[in-house]
């Protein structure tokens, strides 16, 4: 996800599952129930439609609204364990300045979150007065009520995390009431105050303020400056509930977490090793394939680095690769699965750019395979002079490994077969994938226990989901303002005045997107940046599917760009190495990926030709 970093490993960090406080237990219970309902309803729908020729009326609407619930409840969990996504720039500050900057930034985040809570209350009041209902006759205000509750919990946790002593926490809480009072007393704001508050938000973002607060605060200021009710920001967040595809994101993430928490990674590692481990540099190729396989399942490159880095780094070093090269390979391979199904960025991009999802995945086949091939090749060839032991190909080991990983090997068949077979929608396929993952880890292999391990994984998954879904929620408000203010058209006019060639435009776009990828997580970038660049690309005659592939390719490169790429910080945390050492280890890989990105940018014919051959429209 862009440059936003998690403080702890999503699979091993404390989630509060074992804590005794009533509030924590209640949060965990509700999150588990919401994800359970989201997983069960689509499966019931598939079985009812395909077997009994009946359907559960309103179930899709309920699942869509539950996506909003898990987004905000998960955000409260992320705040509980200090894992709200933020720029990792505070790691670059001296220790003496880091704590003070963190406290100051926390105060700004508290103020913004209080205003978001206030705006959400206004939205709930409006929904209550209108009395509209959603699925199963449940009033809409019941669903939107989760927003002020979640923002209140986040505010409370930001306050309690602002210092160890009670007095600084109370001072922070009282001081941060200033901004909500301003919003209450005035329907609009002067230009000078608007610029001052915007500068405070920008500085806070640079020094590690949570990204949801940065985007939400900016949206609040812009609407406030126009005299628009601030409830427009959470109102746009509710609009997520109307998305028919968005529930697939938390469900695929949950399935990936379940598989990563069990022994699937070890079994797949054995399988890949038995197939290609005999080749020169075979272990490096195996590591690349394994990480590329898991990244699209978990929804975030950082999860694979944190969850599997401890397994893969010793394996590479033991096989004769230097530690520097090994760390670089693991860090880079954690992001190259961005084009593979069921890649959540591809799903989200297709939805918000109004493109056919099948076309996006087909167009991503060549770039995805090319990225994997190039990184695997460089990983194997980059230290060609070192003496690395070779293992023999043993058919009996291949057969045993394949039998051991048979359920994981069948996962793509279940997942993609249900979609392209025509009997399941994307959301239904994601729910089937969750069921399959549970059966594999809890029934077939019995590596996860139902009441302890599985519950812990579900809560961990909800924490990750909330960490980035709340960003999407508030980013929609900012996007809506940009569209209303016709910012994309103004930017297009400015760019057209200085750039005539589409090739020069694509080069400038590459530079811009790499910078964006280093500063912003990929999900919020899709919401905020795509509406800006899509009309510009159309004006230069660039195919919209090609634009999507270029966008995603550059964003995954942004994961690795110093000084703020997310994978760099997560790798430094996982391997306990200085950031400078991580920078040095990934630079050769970054240079190789940059060449691939330029190839993808200026050779659209390959992906569009494949799209035409397989039935798409180039």
Strand residue runs (E) in 258-390: none
Which ranges of the chain have pLDDT less than 70?
Answer: 1-20, 88-93, 96, 99, 162-190, 241, 298-303, 383-390, 562-564, 573, 615-618
Strand partners, 139: 133
- Torsions phi, psi for 523 (to 5 deg): -70, -50
pTM: 0.82
Report pLDDT digits (tens) over 267-282.
888 888 888 888 877 8
pLDDT averaged over every residue in the chain: 83
pLDDT value, residue 320: 83
pLDDT value, residue 455: 92
- Residue-range domain boundaries for the chain: 4-242, 248-462, 476-613
pLDDT value, residue 140: 92
Report pLDDT digits (tens) over 453-507.
999 999 998 998 888 788 888 888 888 888 788 787 788 788 888 888 999 999 9
pLDDT value, residue 189: 64
Report pLDDT digits (tens) over 116-126.
998 999 999 99
DSSP string, 170-227: HHHHHHTTHHHHHHHH-SS--HHHHHHHHHHHHHHHHTT-BHHHHHHHHHHHHHHHTT
pLDDT value, residue 328: 92
Give, as one character, the DSSP assignment of residue 551.
Answer: H
Is residue 294 within 8 A of residue 337, CB to CB? The reply is yes
CA–CA distances in Å: residue 280 to residues 326, 376, 434: 16, 11, 37
Give, as one character, the DSSP assignment of residue 5.
Answer: E
Cα 145 to chain center, whole Å?
25
pLDDT value, residue 123: 94
**C-alpha span between 3 and 25 (Å, rounded):** 31
Structure tokens at 409: 């090997």
pLDDT value, residue 468: 78
pLDDT value, residue 41: 95
DSSP string, 61-91: HHHHHHHHHHHHHHHHHHHHTT---EE-GGG
Three-state secondary-structure class, residue 109: helix
pLDDT value, residue 1: 41
C-alpha closest to that of 476 among 137, 216, 161, 225: 216
Residues ≥6 apart with Cβ < 8 Å to 443 = none
């Amino acid at each position: 996800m862009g440059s936003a970093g998690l403080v702890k490993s999503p699979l091993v960090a404390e989630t509060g599952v074992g804590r005794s406080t009533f509030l924590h237990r209640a949060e965990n219970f509700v999150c588990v129930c919401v994800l359970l309902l989201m997983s069960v309803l689509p499966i019931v729908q598939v079985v009812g439609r395909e077997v009994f020729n009946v359907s559960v009326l309103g179930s899709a609407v309920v699942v869509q609204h539950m996506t909003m619930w898990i987004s905000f409840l998960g955000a409260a969990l992320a705040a509980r364990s200090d894992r709200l996504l933020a720029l990792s720039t505070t790691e670059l500050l001296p220790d003496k300045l880091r704590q003070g900057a963190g406290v100051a930034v926390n105060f700004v985040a508290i103020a913004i979150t209080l205003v978001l809570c206030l705006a959400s209350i206004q939205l709930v009041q409006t929904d209550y007065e209108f009395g509209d209902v959603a699925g199963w006759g449940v009033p809409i205000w019941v669903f939107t009520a989760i927003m002020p509750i979640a923002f209140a919990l986040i505010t409370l946790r930001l306050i309690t995390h602002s210092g160890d002593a009670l007095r600084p926490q109370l001072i922070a809480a009282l001081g941060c009431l200033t901004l909500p009072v301003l919003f209450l007393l005035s329907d609009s704001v002067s230009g000078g105050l608007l610029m001052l508050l915007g500068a405070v938000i920008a500085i806070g973002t640079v020094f590690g303020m949570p990204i949801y607060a940065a985007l939400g605060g900016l949206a609040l200021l812009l609407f406030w400056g126009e005299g628009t009710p601030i409830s427009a920001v959470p109102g746009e967040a509710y609009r997520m509930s109307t998305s028919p595809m968005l529930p697939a994101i938390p469900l695929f993430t949950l399935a990936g977490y379940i598989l990563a928490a069990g022994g699937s990674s070890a079994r797949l590692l054995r399988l890949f090793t038995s197939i290609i481990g005999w080749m020169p540099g075979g272990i490096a190729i195996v590591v690349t394939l394994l990480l590329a396989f898991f990244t699209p399942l978990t929804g975030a490159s950082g999860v694979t680095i944190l969850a599997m880095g401890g397994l893969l780094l010793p394996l590479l070093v033991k096989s004769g690769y230097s530690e520097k090269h090994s760390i670089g390979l693991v860090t880079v391979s954690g992001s190259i699965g961005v084009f593979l199904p069921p890649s959540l960025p591809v799903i989200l991009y297709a939805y918000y750019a109004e493109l056919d999802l099948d076309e996006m995945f087909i167009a991503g086949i060549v770039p995805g395979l090319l990225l994997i091939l190039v990184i695997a090749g460089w990983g194997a060839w980059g230290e060609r002079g070192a003496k690395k032991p070779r293992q023999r190909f043993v058919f009996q080991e291949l057969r045993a490994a394949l039998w051991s990983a048979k359920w994981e090997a069948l996962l793509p068949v279940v997942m993609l077969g249900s979609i392209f077979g025509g009997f399941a929608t994307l959301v239904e396929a994601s729910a089937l994938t969750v069921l399959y993952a549970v059966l594999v880890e809890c029934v077939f292999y019995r590596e996860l226990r139902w009441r302890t391990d599985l519950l812990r994984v579900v809560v961990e998954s909800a924490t990750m989901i909330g960490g980035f879904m709340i960003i999407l929620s508030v980013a929609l408000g900012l996007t809506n303002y940009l569209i209303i203010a016709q910012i994309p058209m103004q930017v297009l006019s400015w760019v057209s005045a200085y750039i005539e060639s589409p090739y020069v435009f694509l080069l400038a776009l590459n530079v811009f997107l790499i910078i964006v990828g280093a500063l912003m997580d990929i999900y919020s970038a899709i919401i905020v940046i795509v509406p800006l660049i899509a009309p510009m690309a159309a004006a230069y005659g660039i195919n919209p599917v090609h634009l999507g592939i270029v966008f995603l390719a550059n964003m995954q490169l942004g994961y690795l760009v110093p000084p703020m790429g997310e994978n760099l910080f997560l790798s430094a945390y996982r391997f306990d190495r200085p950031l400078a050492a991580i920078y040095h280890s990934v630079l050769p890989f970054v240079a190789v990926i940059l060449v691939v990105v330029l190839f993808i940018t200026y050779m659209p014919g390959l992906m569009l030709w494949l799209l035409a051959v397989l039935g798409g429209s180039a």
